[in-house]
Amino acid sequence: MKAFEQIKNDINNRIFKPVYFLYGEEPYFIDAITNHLAKRVLSESERSFNQTILYGKETDISSIIEMAKRFPMMSSHQVVIVKEAQHLKNIGLLEHYLEYPLASTILVFAWKSKNFDGRLKVAKLIKEKGLLYKSPKIYDNQIGQWIQTYLSEKSIKIDPKAVMLLSENIGANLSRLVTEIDKLMVVLPKDSKLITSEMVEQNTGIHRDFNVFELQKALGMRNSLKAYQITSFFAYDYKNNPVVMIIPRIFDYFLKLMKYHMLTDKSKNNVAAELGINIYFVDEYAQAARNYPPGKLVRIISYLRQADAQNKGVETTGMEEADIYKELIFKILN
């Protein structure tokens, strides 16, 4: 994340590279840098003549090079952005241009795929002459911290339950997370710098009582009635709560309970650090761990794997998604 912030700071300070090659599995960082360049390099009046957007499916390397070799009109720079660059063929043909890139051209490749070989000569030339940036994949246990960091940079705080609601219900979809967080910042009262769980519930699609966070809590506390209520809601509204999105969140929760059992140091600070949770929730995890001994957790993890396989058409018995939900929760609680 530090590299991402450094790139943005350099752009803000008008420290540009002649070539930006942005690739990786996480589209958010690629889009953010691309958009930052599109907005910051040229003024609005300069963009009409000096900013070009191409698409990998609709162009080729020769055309890109030809465009990059043009000089700007009444501006210090021109910007050439190639979106969906992962569809380009013969990327190696770019080598000739990279040996002597035009200083007045800022050439940007948005390559949304991890399938780019950094050992290629073209990659080495990009590193030497410009910037080769791999967009890092954010894992589930990093989402909460990422949310807090994103907001702290804007001098805004968020309460622990609000973090959990966003991270557990949206997951590592950073683009959607940013959209929802930005909406919350818009509705913040003028005299407030704190996003609360009530604000999340009122201003996002996350239901106050029926969401993944509340399901995890109900399962952890062995609150069968609440767990079945939430499961019934998910089964009824399965298009907005697909099994394929819910199971990984529950799986991660029970893995954390297993990890809790394996800790020798069960002090609050250590548990929070080892499980990647806010210290505010340590007592809940401790209670849940008491409700689920290691042997039971091993069986639950196998149930989750089986449900995931059934949803993907493996080991299927013709069960509907709603039935997969209900059978899974029944097995966990019994």
Q: Taking the CB of residue 93, how many other CB atoms lie within 10 A of it?
A: 15
Contacts 24+ apart (CB under 8 A), 289-294: 289/257, 289/260, 289/261, 291/220, 291/221, 291/222, 292/220, 292/254, 292/257, 293/261, 294/258, 294/261
Cα 150 to chain centroid, rounded: 12
The reply to whether 67 and 126 lie within a common domain is yes
CATH of the domain at 27: 3.40.50.300
The reply to whether 126 and 167 lie within a common domain is no
Query: Is pTM beyond 0.75 here?
Result: no
Q: Pairing state of beta strands 78-83 and 157-158?
A: unpaired
Higher pLDDT, 301 or 205: 301
Our CA angle for 309, 210, 223, nearest 5°, is: 80
Rg of the chain on CA atoms, in Å: 24
pLDDT exceeds cutoff 70 at 74: yes
Which of these three, 135, 153, 179, is where a domain ends?
Answer: 135
CATH of the domain at 286: 1.20.272.10
Which of these three, 118, 135, 152, is where a domain ends?
Answer: 135
pLDDT at 223: 94
The reply to whether 152 and 255 lie within a common domain is no
**Using one digit for the tens of pLDDT, what is the confidence trace for 249-274?**
899 999 999 999 999 999 999 999 99
CATH of the domain at 161: 1.10.8.60
The reply to whether 142 and 126 lie within a common domain is no
The reply to whether 170 and 221 lie within a common domain is no
Our CA angle for 172, 174, 178, nearest 5°, is: 135
The reply to whether 190 and 214 lie within a common domain is no
The reply to whether 130 and 163 lie within a common domain is no
pLDDT at 321: 74
pLDDT at 1: 61
Give CA torsion, residues 145, 150, 153, 155, to 10 deg: -90
Domain count, the chain: 3
pLDDT at 318: 64
The reply to whether 125 and 143 lie within a common domain is no
**Using one digit for the tens of pLDDT, what is the confidence trace for 293-318?**
999 999 999 999 988 888 777 665 66
**Using one digit for the tens of pLDDT, what is the confidence trace for 184-196?**
999 898 888 999 9
The reply to whether 200 and 230 lie within a common domain is no
- Measured between alpha carbons, how far is 235 from 324 in angstroms, rounded to an integer? 9
Three-state secondary-structure class, residue 107: strand
The reply to whether 93 and 143 lie within a common domain is no
**Using one digit for the tens of pLDDT, what is the confidence trace for 169-179?**
888 889 889 99
Which of these three, 135, 157, 174, is where a domain ends?
Answer: 135
- Measured between alpha carbons, how far is 91 from 60 in angstroms, rounded to an integer? 9
pLDDT at 316: 56
Give the structural domain span for 65: 2-135
The reply to whether 131 and 6 lie within a common domain is yes
